[in-house]
Amino acid sequence: AALTFHMYALGNGPTLKPADLAASFLSPAALDKAGEGVRELASAMGAGGPPLWAGETAAANDGGQSGLTDTFVDSFWYLDQMGLHAASGAVSLFLRQTLLSHGGYPLVEIPEGAAEAVDPLGPLGPLGPDAAADASAQH
């Protein structure tokens, strides 16, 4: 058994201010809210409690904000939160709906059809194992 939690460390997506990244994506204090949340959950569960799973997480809730939470700057939150969760020793699983997509809350939004040209996960990516084998045979 595990306790799965949702976390949106930077708050409400539509209210984020793209012109003030220093208050959100580039703010260590704002980014550390993910660490604070995990520490509070771990404390509430106590020693010997169930493992914590970050089951649904994003920089901001309510679909984020197009042109902000679907761009490179979102990687600051993503990497920071993964590191904070790992350093806590309390989170045993970190999930993200999808890395690259043209819909469905991806970390990075790409144009429809572009996914076929991107293979971020090697043989597990959208091009599949045959394309990965072909690519390595060419090198």
Phi then psi dihedrals of residue 106, to 5 deg: -75, 165
> Of 108, 8, 109, 5, whose CA–CA distance to 58 is shortest?
8
Phi then psi dihedrals of residue 100, to 5 deg: -120, 130
Q: Which residues pair with 76 in a beta bridge?
A: none
pLDDT in tens, 34-44: 899 999 999 99
Say if residue 14's pLDDT is above 90. yes
pLDDT in tens, 98-135: 677 776 667 677 777 765 555 555 544 444 444 444 44
Return the percentage of the chain with pLDDT > 90, whole number. 32
pTM over 0.75: no
pLDDT in tens, 49-91: 889 998 888 899 998 898 898 888 998 998 999 899 889 888 8
Instruction: Assess contact for 96 and 107: CB atoms under 8 A.
Output: yes
CA distances from 110 to 19, 71, 96, 125 (A): 22, 9, 16, 15
CA distances from 66 to 94, 98, 113, 133 (A): 23, 16, 19, 36
In the block, tokens 């994003």 appear at 58
98 versus 29: the higher-pLDDT residue is: 29
> Of 18, 38, 31, whose CA–CA distance to 89 is shortest?
38
